[in-house]
Amino acid sequence: MFREDTIAAIATGLTDSGIGIVRISGRDAVAVGNCIFRSPSGKASLCCAESHVLSYGFAVDVSGSVMDEVMAVVMKAPRSFTGEDTVEIQCHGGVLVMKKILDAALQSGARLAEPGEFTKRAFLNGRIDLSRAEAVMDLIHSKNEYALSSSVGQLRGSLYREIRQLREEILYEMAYLESALDDPEHISLDGYEEGFSRKLSRLTGRIEKLLSTSQNGKWVQDGIHTVILGKPNVGKSSILNLLLGEDRAIVTEIAGTTRDVLQERLILGGMELVITDTAGIRDTEDKIEKIGVEKSRKYAQDADLILYVIDSSAALDESDREIFSLLVGKKVIVLLNKSDLPGLVSEQEVSSLFEEVFSEGERPRILRTSAAEGVGLEELEQALKEIFFQGLFQSKEELVITNLRHSEALKEALSSLQLVKKTMEDGMPADFYSIDLMDAYTSLGRIIGEEVDDDLIEEIFSRFCMGK
């Protein structure tokens, strides 16, 4: 799978900008760069340039014509991102000039890099493990500060170190068992099971702790799927507009204005919300509105968080009680909207209704808001932090499993270790332990790339952008 030829690509965005970078990596990277770069005196000087030091000069095409005034840097192997000789030419960030410099590199002996090929070479050359390679792409696509922090942590090896330590402990137990079985005269297994059982409990506990963060990881990567729910004309669309800071949803005094769902993304309190405004829930004979109401119920079932909007200036009715049934088992924040008007609904009245269906620790937070006057946004942001950040994310440095592939591998490893425990409980001989221990060891190895096949590696890196 690994090719030693020289590759080149534009490493910055293909759009007009202040600076553009053309990256060249491989066995002949310096020779290719030397064909393009000229010092102010006109010499091809990259072949004798000091590693990791910027050189000033000009980029020329194959005919020797100057294309741009540039800076170039040579990074000698293994002290480069890919672990190979690498040259980066930093030019002005015009699309045309970047393409011309790339074309010159291709004409000088390089080939166009495949998507993610620079990072794939870093992995194949042992510069980074597979979890850190995937963190590169997660870092690029980070949409909130928690996703960014998680990606940086994994890029610095937080997950790699934990998985590596787990594998080393499993490997030690396998080696001890094999040695004892091969040489029972000198290595005894008497009393081994008691200590091994404790170690096994610690191993499974650590994996379970990692798996317990996977739901948080889904929210970090994909955002918290939030649905605005309520009766018609309670101010749902106004709340959405308030959160977005712009008039995105149509707002009128006519009940049933919103007949279909409207979805937007926003950052609130450092966390991304995928927020959906829905049709007001009520009994209606209007066929179109009825479809919208059914969609509202469906979105509520799949939501991570529900913002239940109540018109505090109007009494609760049967439609509110119907909505209550959709909230059971969900994370809910109740917004008593239109608080600028005379109130007919109190926090105590709403709270008492929720006491019937929610346990004490799960009862929704109740906030007073006024979309018309922009009141309640700070309180909502604080409530989100309390629910998701303080309750679920202990800190931005916390190791969180954000990758589905990692989660599946951890589940398989946990299942294998649990089989070892069952084998012990069933009184099976110690030589049976090694089979499931090896399965756990292999499953964990897939996370960091020590137990993967070529097809999986190709599939992972094909998702990367060109030049990365």
Domains of the chain and any CATH numbers:
7-128 (3.30.1360.120), 135-213+401-449 (1.20.120.430), 223-390 (3.40.50.300)
- pLDDT surpassing 70 at residue 306: yes
Question: What is the value of pTM for the model shown?
Answer: 0.75
Q: What is the pLDDT of residues 19-46, one digit of tens each?
A: 999 999 999 999 999 999 999 998 988 9
Determine the pLDDT at residue 387: 77
Residues 133, 136, 141, CA angle at the centre, nearest 5°? 140
Residue 461 is which amino acid?
F
Q: What is the pLDDT of residues 442-453, one digit of tens each?
A: 999 999 998 888
- pLDDT surpassing 50 at residue 251: no
**Confidence category of residue 464, pLDDT binned at 50, 70, 90:** confident
As a whole number of angstroms, the distance between CA 100 and CA 60 comes to 9
Type and span of the H or E element at 208: helix 192-211
Q: Residue 325, SS3?
A: helix
- pLDDT surpassing 80 at residue 6: yes
Q: Which two tokens stand for residue 345?
A: 């609904």
Assess contact for 349 and 323: CB atoms under 8 A.
no
Q: Give the full edge-to-edge strand order of the sheet including 7-10.
A: 37-38, 54-60, 66-75, 86-93, 17-25, 7-10, 111-112
Determine the pLDDT at residue 152: 87
* Direct distance between the N- and C-terminal alpha carbons of the chain, in angstroms, rounded to an integer: 18
Q: Per residue in 225-235, is it b (16+ CB within 10 Å) or e — as a string?
A: bbbbbbbbbbb
- pLDDT surpassing 60 at residue 390: no
Which has the higher per-residue pLDDT, 305 or 376?
305
Interval 344-359 mean pLDDT? 80
- Residue 96: C-alpha distances to residues 16, 67, 99, 100, 405 (Å): 9, 10, 5, 6, 39
As a whole number of angstroms, the distance between CA 411 and CA 386 comes to 29
**DSSP state letter for 50:** P
As a whole number of angstroms, the distance between CA 53 and CA 416 comes to 50
Nearby residues of 290 by Cβ (< 8 Å), 6 or more positions away: 284
Of the listed ranges 1-5, 249-253, 464-468, the least confidently predicted one is 249-253
Type and span of the H or E element at 366: strand 365-368
β-strands 17-25, 86-93: how paired?
antiparallel
